[in-house]
């Protein structure tokens, strides 16, 4: 399976079409040996972007990834790694979260230490912070880039208007603007990527690193007859996620997608991931996996996108609405 690469928006950075994320898995659902196998399989398959955040497993996800990167000794110029700031790494005090300059700086330093790297390739503002002036955050990101601690900065789950405000501040003050946004994108969650951001691909050259491409596993079809045992949707404290992703209407639609995938000779998750890749405004689709076999299967999506002809896309559109 040959990996393919896309530029991150208007930046020059080439990211693999499929990347690997660690939310709920590293430092939590899976042991470090499995995490190591996942990263090795991904890297050996041409994946060059590993996604992380200060808040994942309260910093533990970054620690696990950092240890693996250190152990693997892959040349630093062959992979990229991210962190995200906003939610904090477990601390509950107001200085320990948000997008004020203090936390943006301290979270960056903490992520560098946990990931055992000298710089973050990508650094995201994980959510908007309504209480911090946008100028302060843009300046903080710009300064981190000037200090060589971050290469590219972006946002996650910001509205088009909030991203535009950051651009206006950057343009007015000759600062480095955000280059990417990390939104949820899958067959059941399309509004932001397909409608809200539409103009911004042209006007700002926005790149996207999209998350939950399988709607937390729903689009694999394995939850159609009740939540699959041992999956994240049965994990303690994640009832909200199940409620958000699973409902009768969605399950019905997933059933209807099955014959389409079967006609193409693809598994449902591979078709669902390939569907995300068909959108040219997606820079990279971030995969999640709790098992090596899942990742192996999902990596087939790169080649599979060629099978999703306009006729197939129309058939899928009829089902997903």
Is 16 an interacting residue with respect to ligand NDP (CB under 6 A)?
no
Is 132 an interacting residue with respect to ligand NDP (CB under 6 A)?
no
| Pair type for strands 80-85 and 49-51 | parallel
Residues 249 and 64: their CA atoms lie apart, in Å, by: 38
Is 213 an interacting residue with respect to ligand NDP (CB under 6 A)?
yes
Selected binder of ligand NDP within 17, 51, 62, 181 (CB under 6 A): 51
Location of structure tokens 């990229």: 80
Q: Environment class of residue 240 by beta-carbon count within 10 Å: exposed (0-12), middle (13-18) or buried (19+)?
A: exposed
Q: Which stretch binds ligand NDP (CB under 6 A): 70-78, 163-171, 217-225, 274-282?
A: 217-225
Per rule CB under 6 A, count of chain residues that contact ligand NDP: 28
Selected binder of ligand NDP within 276, 277, 286, 308 (CB under 6 A): 286
Residues 129 and 124: their CA atoms lie apart, in Å, by: 12
Residues 112 and 241: their CA atoms lie apart, in Å, by: 29
Q: At what angle do helices 248-264 and 268-277 cross, to 10 degrees?
A: 90
- Looking at beta carbons only, is 36 or 231 nearer to ligand NDP? 231
Copy the structure tokens of residue 302.
């790169």
Selected binder of ligand NDP within 222, 242, 250, 281 (CB under 6 A): 222
Kindly calculate the radius of gyration of the chain based on its CA atoms and give it in whole angstroms.
19
Is 207 an interacting residue with respect to ligand NDP (CB under 6 A)?
no
Selected binder of ligand NDP within 149, 192, 232, 242 (CB under 6 A): 232
Smallest distance from ligand NDP to CB 126, Å: 6
Smallest distance from ligand NDP to CB 35, Å: 11
Is 25 an interacting residue with respect to ligand NDP (CB under 6 A)?
yes
Which residues in the 136-175 window bind ligand NDP by CB under 6 A? 156-157
**Residue of 56, 123, 152, 185 with catalytic role:** 56
Across the chain, where does the E strand assignment appear? 5-7, 14-16, 18-21, 49-51, 80-85, 120-125, 150-156, 180-182, 207-210, 284-287
Location of structure tokens 């020059």: 12
Quick one: which H or E segment has residue 155?
A: strand 150-156
- Looking at beta carbons only, is 116 or 224 nearer to ligand NDP? 224
Residues 252 and 224: their CA atoms lie apart, in Å, by: 8
- Looking at beta carbons only, is 202 or 265 nearer to ligand NDP? 265
- Looking at beta carbons only, is 286 or 312 nearer to ligand NDP? 286
Q: Would you call 56 a catalytic residue per the annotation? A: yes
| Pair type for strands 5-7 and 14-16 | antiparallel
Q: Would you tell me which residues interact with ligand NDP (CB under 6 A)?
A: 21-23, 25, 51, 156-157, 182, 211-217, 220, 222, 231-232, 269, 286-290, 294, 297-298
Q: Which residues are catalytic?
A: 56
């Amino acid at each position: 399976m040959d990996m393919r690469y896309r530029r991150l928006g208007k930046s020059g950075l080439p990211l693999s079409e499929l990347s690997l994320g660690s939310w709920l898995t590293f430092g939590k659902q899976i042991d470090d040996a499995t995490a190591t196998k996942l990263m090795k399989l991904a890297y050996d398959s041409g994946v060059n972007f590993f996604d992380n955040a200060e808040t994942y497993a309260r910093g533990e996800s970054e620690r696990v990834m950092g240890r693996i990167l250190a152990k693997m000794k892959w040349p630093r110029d062959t992979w990229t790694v991210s962190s995200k700031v906003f939610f904090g790494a477990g601390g509950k005090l107001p200085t320990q979260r948000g997008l004020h300059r203090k936390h943006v700086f301290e979270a960056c330093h903490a992520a560098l230490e946990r990931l055992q790297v000298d710089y973050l390739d990508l650094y995201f503002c994980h959510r908007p912070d309504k209480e911090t002036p946008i100028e302060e955050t843009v300046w903080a990101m710009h300064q981190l880039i000037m200090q060589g601690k971050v290469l590219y900065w972006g946002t996650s789950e910001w509205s088009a208007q909030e991203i535009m405000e950051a651009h206006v501040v950057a343009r007015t003050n000759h600062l480095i603007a955000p280059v990417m946004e990390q939104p949820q994108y899958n067959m059941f969650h399309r509004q932001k990527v397909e409608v809200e951001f539409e103009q911004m691909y042209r006007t700002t050259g926005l790149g996207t690193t999209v998350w939950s491409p399988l709607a937390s596993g729903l689009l694999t079809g394995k939850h159609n007859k009740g939540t699959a045992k041992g999956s994240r949707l049965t994990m303690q404290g994640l009832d909200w996620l199940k409620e958000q992703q699973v409902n009768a209407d969605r399950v019905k639609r997933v059933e209807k997608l099955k014959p389409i995938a079967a006609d193409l000779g693809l598994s449902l998750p591979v078709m669902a991931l390939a569907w995300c890749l068909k959108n040219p405004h997606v820079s990279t689709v971030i995969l999640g996996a709790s098992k090596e076999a899942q990742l192996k299967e999902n990596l087939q999506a790169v080649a599979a996108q060629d099978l999703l002809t306009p006729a197939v896309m129309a058939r899928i559109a009829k089902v997903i609405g």
